[in-house]
């Protein structure tokens, strides 16, 4: 593989989505592939000033889109899913090239897009409201849901297509146009998704130009564009996925203008392995959750809390498995671990390993590999670190394949250790003891948004609400109820009597002349 090969393949994949080669050399916004560090495009960068007409176009599109009946809006999402099925191999491959995921996981991301579209199509006929018993005679009360307005969507590099689609599919059936600020590391995936949605819009029929132009737009650039979206009152919802650092900026900025946020931030996910666990299952689950996607999932397993009685056995087996994992070009069959997204991820990982060592941790793996073959790319052997206790470094999310292993003696201690970190995204327990499993999933158990038994913390299905508590931000995407974040709730009271009774029995009458 040469540098040229990747950029040529990228151009040809994009051409398949209808994106011309001129876009790939239109500016100075460099896009590189983490596979070999080579430049695959130089895009034109949007400025915050460019956002103004984009938001205005989204506002105009909103006026038209909100009037389209929801099931008809669902038809657009159904067509989008058809286009995604057609483009799945190519889009999955682009995800691998731009984000460095192995092909299997790139394809999996596109499948997740298809799944959420199917979900949203059904939802388009189920945006249910409520009829409420009124305390006043001859009155009827209703709660119903109306479209909200343009949805600003900020996404992270590690799920460059799926996370947008979780938002986009629901927002579209809810009646909201989209303005997407993708990660500056994965803008090509965003352009591809938008082009594929454009093909669905072309098939939808009867789309006025104003709607076509403003229904879904992509702004290419860095955090300055995200901040501009946060500050603009015309964007009632900002759904932001990324680090807790980013969320701590986005949350207050949007709140300052009383906008709504949906925050999907960092995780620091744990697994408790109890003495009764099926160790073979646990081992396979740990491997996928800690090593898969090169440890670059928000739900990646980062903390292993193992019972003293089985710790020795499990850690020995894990070390053996870690040593066998094939690291390399994510486009090649058989590879399980691709590259880190870039140099800063690598230095962050090494810094964390140094700190863990200073805290008394024993590091296995974690070194850079394949540097002679790809000097501008960052491949690492996943690290397993045996920690004497849960120190500060374990509390922080390091976005790299580091698994800290710690020991416990009783379940209360393990759960307390598990819940003591600032993040609250995904968690799991491996046990065959019913009491332990039930306790972990009870109000006294895990404090996370995702709580699993006998599966790892990563690899969610779109049918369940996705998101977490504490510093993970509290947002929920996909699953039940999350569509309500994209809509405005309306309470309506209709008086069909000939009287005007007031709520709470208040009398406020005046004498009227006979």
- The piece of 43-51, 245-253, 309-317, 414-422 that touches ligand NAD (CB under 6 A) is 245-253
Dihedral sign, Cα of residue 154, residue 158, residue 159, residue 160: positive
- The piece of 81-89, 125-133, 178-186, 383-391 that touches ligand NAD (CB under 6 A) is 178-186
CA 405 to chain centre: 26
Pairwise CA distance, residues 262 & 264, whole Å: 7
Fill in the per-residue mask, 468 to 507: x = in contact with ligand NAD (CB under 6 A), - = not in contact. ----x-----------------------------------
* Site membership for ligand NAD, residue 295 (CB under 6 A): no
> Is-contact 362 353, C-beta < 8 A?
no
Nearest to 81 by CA among 44, 118, 127, 45: 118
Pairing type for strands 487-495 and 139-147 reads: antiparallel
Is residue 145 classed as helix, strand or coil in its secondary structure? Answer: strand
Per annotation, catalytic residue among 109, 264, 386, 436: 264
Contact with ligand NAD (CB under 6 A): which of 181, 307, 381, 470?
181
> Is-contact 381 350, C-beta < 8 A?
no
Pairwise CA distance, residues 216 & 510, whole Å: 54
> Is-contact 172 273, C-beta < 8 A?
no
| Closer residue to ligand NAD in complex, CB, 45/307 | 45
Question: Within 394-423, which residues bind ligand NAD (CB under 6 A)?
Answer: 397, 399
448 part of the active site = no
- Give 249-262 as a DSSP string: HHHHHHHHTT-EEE
Residues in the chain: 514
Pairwise CA distance, residues 507 & 509, whole Å: 6
Size of interface with ligand NAD, in residues (CB under 6 A) = 30
264 part of the active site = yes
Contact with ligand NAD (CB under 6 A): which of 65, 119, 145, 157?
157
Residues 6+ apart with CB under 8 A from 393: 352, 355, 356, 359, 404
The tokens describing 55, both together, are 């938001």
Question: Within 253-282, which residues bind ligand NAD (CB under 6 A)?
Answer: 264-267
Fill in the per-residue mask, 117 to 146: x = in contact with ligand NAD (CB under 6 A), - = not in contact. ------------------------------
Pairwise CA distance, residues 298 & 242, whole Å: 9
Least distance from C-beta 246 to ligand NAD, angstroms?
3
Per annotation, catalytic residue among 112, 298, 397, 471: 298
Q: Round the CA-based radius of gyration of the chain to a whole number and report it.
A: 25
Nearest to 121 by CA among 165, 152, 89: 165
Pairwise CA distance, residues 292 & 101, whole Å: 9
Angle formed at CA 215 by CA 212 and CA 216, multiple of 5 degrees: 110
Least distance from C-beta 249 to ligand NAD, angstroms?
4
Question: Within 11-70, which residues bind ligand NAD (CB under 6 A)?
Answer: none
Fill in the per-residue mask, 303 to 322: x = in contact with ligand NAD (CB under 6 A), - = not in contact. --------------------
Least distance from C-beta 68 to ligand NAD, angstroms?
29
Phi, psi values for residue 212, rounded to 5°: -60, -40
Give the bridge partners for 263, in sequence order.
240
- The piece of 82-90, 99-107, 153-161, 483-491 that touches ligand NAD (CB under 6 A) is 153-161
Contact with ligand NAD (CB under 6 A): which of 283, 298, 315, 318?
298
| Closer residue to ligand NAD in complex, CB, 193/230 | 230
* Site membership for ligand NAD, residue 158 (CB under 6 A): yes
- The piece of 66-74, 237-245, 301-309, 457-465 that touches ligand NAD (CB under 6 A) is 237-245
Least distance from C-beta 443 to ligand NAD, angstroms?
22
| Closer residue to ligand NAD in complex, CB, 219/411 | 219
* Site membership for ligand NAD, residue 384 (CB under 6 A): no
Nearest to 445 by CA among 431, 458, 461: 431
Contact with ligand NAD (CB under 6 A): which of 183, 398, 428, 446?
183
| Closer residue to ligand NAD in complex, CB, 138/222 | 222
Active-site amino acid positions? 264, 298
- Note the residues at the interface with ligand NAD (CB under 6 A): 154-159, 163, 181, 183-184, 222-223, 226-227, 230, 241-243, 246, 249-250, 264-267, 298, 397, 399, 425, 472
């Amino acid at each position: 593989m040469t540098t040229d090969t990747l950029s040529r393949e990228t151009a040809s994949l994009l051409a398949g989505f209808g994106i011309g080669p001129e876009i790939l050399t239109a500016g100075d916004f460099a896009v590189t592939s983490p596979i070999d560090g080579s430049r695959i495009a130089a895009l034109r960068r949007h400025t915050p000033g460019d956002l103004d007409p984009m938001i205005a176009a989204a506002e105009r599109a909103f006026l038209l889109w909100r009037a389209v009946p929801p099931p008809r809006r669902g038809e657009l999402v159904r067509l989008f899913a058809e286009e995604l099925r057609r483009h799945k191999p190519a889009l999955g491959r682009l995800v691998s090239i731009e984000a460095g995921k192995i092909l299997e996981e790139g394809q999996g991301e596109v499948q997740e897009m298809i799944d959420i579209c199917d979900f949203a199509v059904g939802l388009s006929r189920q945006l249910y409201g409520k009829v409420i018993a009124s305390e006043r005679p001859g009155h009827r009360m209703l709660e119903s849901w109306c479209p909200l307005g343009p949805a600003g969507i900020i996404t992270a590099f590690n799920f460059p297509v799926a996370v947008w689609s979780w938002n986009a599919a629901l927002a579209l059936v809810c009646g909201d146009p989209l303005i997407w600020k993708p990660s500056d590391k994965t803008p090509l995936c965003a352009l591809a998704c938008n082009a594929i949605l454009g093909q669905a819009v072309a098939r939808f029929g009867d789309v006025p130009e104003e709607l076509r132009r403003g229904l879904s737009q992509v702004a290419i650039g860095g955090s300055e564009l995200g901040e501009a979206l946060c500050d603009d009152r015309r964007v009632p919802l900002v759904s932001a996925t990324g680090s807790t650092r980013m969320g701590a900026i986005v949350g207050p900025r949007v709140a300052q203008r009383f906008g709504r946020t949906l925050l999907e931030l960092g995780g620091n996910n744990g697994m408790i392995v109890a003495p009764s666990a099926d160790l073979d299952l646990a081992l396979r689950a740990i491997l996928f959750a800690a090593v898969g996607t090169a440890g670059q999932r928000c739900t990646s397993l980062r903390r292993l809390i193992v019972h003293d009685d089985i710790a020795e056995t499990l850690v020995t087996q894990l070390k053996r498995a870690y040593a066998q994992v094939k690291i390399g070009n994510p486009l090649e069959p058989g590879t399980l671990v691709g590259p880190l997204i870039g140099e800063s991820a690598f230095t962050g990982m090494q810094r964390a390993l140094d700190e863990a060592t200073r805290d008394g941790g024993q590091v296995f793996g974690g070194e850079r590999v394949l540097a002679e073959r790809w000097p501008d790319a960052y491949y690492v052997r996943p690290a397993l670190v045996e920690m004497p206790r849960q120190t500060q470094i374990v509390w922080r999310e390091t976005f790299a394949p580091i698994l800290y292993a710690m020991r416990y003696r009783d379940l209360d201690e393990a759960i307390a250790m598990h819940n003591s970190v600032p993040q609250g995204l995904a968690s799991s327990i491996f046990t065959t003891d019913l009491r332990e499993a039930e306790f972990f999933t009870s109000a006294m158990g895990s404090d996370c948004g995702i709580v699993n038994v006998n599966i790892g913390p990563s690899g969610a299905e779109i049918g369940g609400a996705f998101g977490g508590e504490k510093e993970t931000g509290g947002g929920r995407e996909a699953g039940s109820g999350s569509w309500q974040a994209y809509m405005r709730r309306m309470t309506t009271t209709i008086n069909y009597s000939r009287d005007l009774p007031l709520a709470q029995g208040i009398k406020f009458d005046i004498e009227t002349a006979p």
